[in-house]
Chain A
Amino acid sequence: MAVRTEVVMGTLVTIEVVRSGAGPAAVDAAMDRAFGWFHEIESRCTRFDRRSELMQLTRQAGAPVPASEILYEAVQFALMLAAESGGAFDPTVGHRMEARGFNREHRTGEIVRTAIVNDDDVSYRHVQLDPDRRTITLRRPLTLDLGAVAKGLAVDAAARELAPFRDFAIDAGGDLYLGGSNSKGDPWRVGIRHPRRDDELIDSLRVSNRAVCTSGDYERRTPGSVSKNGAEHHILDPRTGESPHAVASVTVVASGAMLADGLATAAFVLGPEAGIQLLNRLGVDGLIVTPELERYETGGLCHGS
């Protein structure tokens, strides 16, 4: 058993390798590489550092900009998810997040503002990819927000590093990937946080080799906002610029964390019925809880502890 925690991507990331079958040096080396992915992907995709590849791209609107594998793939996935969800998920909401106060560099507490304020009619359609040249073109001046996608990608890359160990867990601030079995040799038992009662779980699931990600209206509320209903939270409906209120939390169980995290955000915006439809269409499982604690779920969840 080996466990390590680091502060990265604005959260605490924990990796646990249940049993290695190899020496501690091999586990350490794999953990180094797994955390290396978090640092590397953060450094390329963060909005909070002017020198990041993402922010450099932001300053070159209008021109095709060659992108690293990391940035290109993250943006490509974000755009496809945007198209698939009819714009319920949209990586061009970055500037609106800034306007809401989500602009604090997590390591320094420094406020970061980009000069570019997206026009209200700017959307994912203004981002163009060239798959042959691997370039990204911003057809309008805009700020991309890859936060959740980047974190999911880091979890997935880390999971690949740890795959040789079979039984392991990655916890990136509540975004999970569970490989193989827990220390008892059973499928991992994952609790889903109750969206209204901090100390409680609303459900628990059995998963193996799956990512579990939850989007909730309780996470990272806008600093200063206190009201329980109608409060602003960290998810915006890109189509309206408002915080949606039909959903309290969405949990998605999928093959990877980037997919699960992105779909949780999209389903949150779409609302319970359309959200479940989206998940079903993709063959992905999930649970949606409304503020009234009504539950909507797909058919394939494995409940119980």
Chain B
Amino acid sequence: MAQDGSNKKVANSLVAVSCGAVLAVYTAGYVRTRSAVEQFEAQAAERRAADPIPQRIEAPGTRFRPKAPEPPSEWASSAPRVDAVRTPRGTVSVEPAPVIETPTAEVADGAPEASSIETPLPPSPVVAAAAPAVVEAPPQPAQPAPAPAWKDGTYLGWGTSRHGNIQAEVVIDRGRIASATIAQCRTRYSCSVIDRLPPEVAQRQSPDVDYVSGATQSANAFYFAVVDALSKAK
């Protein structure tokens, strides 16, 4: 703890450091993302000129709508290229885990128990350090854990919490998670708490809030159920 009198200074610098840290980390990877941001801005400008009417449609009580199918090439070509981390000894380029987009699930109106969600996972061995020869890596470059490639099929898994159990059904298609759904809910409380978790089926517990701060046991149970199901898909 700082001495009396210098508290204020330390306090202010803590806030400053937290902002500076995010900036430093983001900037280190920003070189790779800048072109994408510029592309976005150009695209946004074009869109504004061509199509001034927002295409979002929202009906009362139904927050999420299936979105228009998109050609896979669009997102495949925009795979994450986030990070180029500076180290005192040079630069090492690291490719973050591949991120998948899956189609948004359809809203299950009035059927919260039959919720359906999309839960993408890194599909294939996560890679790393695709560093060009010129680049010098730190002594032992960190390697993200390889994610398993899943076998196609439908898998069930249980997750437990002190309030009860939740069964998840996970569908793997072409090695990727196509959907993750609550199959059974045996908690002391209703599954309504969880229903706001899978956002595509956001039959939210309280219509008065957009998000809830604070983890829930039930949410963890669903999470572990998904992980359990995935363990069978190896």
Residue positions of A touching B, CB distance < 8 A: 1-7, 10-12, 14, 16, 19-26, 28-33, 35-37, 39-44, 46, 49, 51-53, 56, 65-70, 73-74, 76-77, 80-81, 83-87, 106-109, 133-135, 153, 156-157, 160-161, 164, 169, 171, 173-176, 178, 182-183, 188-193, 195, 198-199, 201, 204, 212-214, 216, 218-221, 226, 249, 251, 255-256, 258-259, 262, 281-284, 305
Contacts and interface: CB of A to CB of B under 8 A. Distances in A.
Contact of A216 (B36, B214, B220, B231): B214
B40 A164 contact: yes
Contacts of A30: 36, 40
A224 to B, nearest CB: 10
Given A174-B214, A251-B214, A107 B22 contact: no
B17 to A, nearest CB: 5
Contacts of B142: 43-44, 51-53, 56, 68
Nearest to A263: B14
A198 B80 CA distance: 37
Contacts of B26: 157, 160-161
A25 B75 contact: yes
Contact of B37 (A40, A164, A220): A164
Given A32-B75, A36-B82, A109-B231, A66 B87 contact: yes
Contact of A204 (B58, B96, B209): B209
B211 A1 contact: no
10 contacts: A3-B64, A7-B227, A12-B197, A23-B43, A51-B143, A56-B142, A69-B85, A74-B21, A80-B13, A204-B209
Contacts of B220: 219-220
Given A68-B85, A255-B15, A22 B21 contact: no
B200 to A, nearest CB: 6
B128 to A, nearest CB: 8
A27 to B, nearest CB: 9
Given A26-B40, A28-B70, A40-B96, A199 B190 contact: yes
Given A51-B143, A80-B13, A157-B26, A43 B2 contact: no
A83 B51 CA distance: 53
A284 B15 contact: yes
A19 B47 CA distance: 13
B215 A220 contact: yes
Contacts of B58: 1, 183
A262 B15 CA distance: 11
B219 A173 contact: yes
Interface of B: 1-2, 7-8, 10-15, 17-22, 24-26, 28-29, 33, 36-37, 39-41, 43-44, 47-48, 54, 56, 58, 63-65, 67-68, 70, 74-75, 78-83, 85-89, 92, 94, 96-97, 99, 101-102, 104, 117-122, 126, 128, 138-145, 147, 162-163, 189-190, 192-193, 197-200, 205-206, 208-220, 222-223, 226-228, 231
Q: Tell me which of B8, B17, B56, B212 has the highest count of chain A C-beta atoms within 10 A of its own C-beta.
A: B212
Contacts of B208: 189, 191, 204, 305
Contacts of A85: 1
Nearest to A1: B56
A24 B67 contact: yes
B13 A190 contact: no
Contacts of B213: 174-176, 190-193, 212-214, 251
Given A66-B88, A70-B25, A305-B209, A33 B36 contact: yes
B167 to A, nearest CB: 16
Contacts of B11: 84, 281-283
A199 B120 contact: no
B119 A7 contact: yes
B42 to A, nearest CB: 9
Given A40-B82, A69-B85, A80 B17 contact: yes
Q: Tell me which of A23, A74, A214 has the highest count of chain B C-beta atoms within 10 A of its own C-beta.
A: A23
A11 B15 contact: no
Nearest to A280: B11
B88 A135 contact: yes
A35 B41 contact: no
B212 A174 contact: yes
Given A39-B96, A190-B209, A198 B189 contact: yes
Nearest to A6: B120
A251 B213 CA distance: 8
A5 B119 contact: yes
A39 B162 CA distance: 29
Contact of A43 (B41, B97, B102): B97
A292 B114 CA distance: 36
B14 A84 contact: yes
B216 A198 contact: yes
Given A49-B144, A191-B206, 8 more contacts: A2-B67, A12-B119, A32-B75, A68-B142, A199-B190, A214-B213, A255-B15, A282-B12
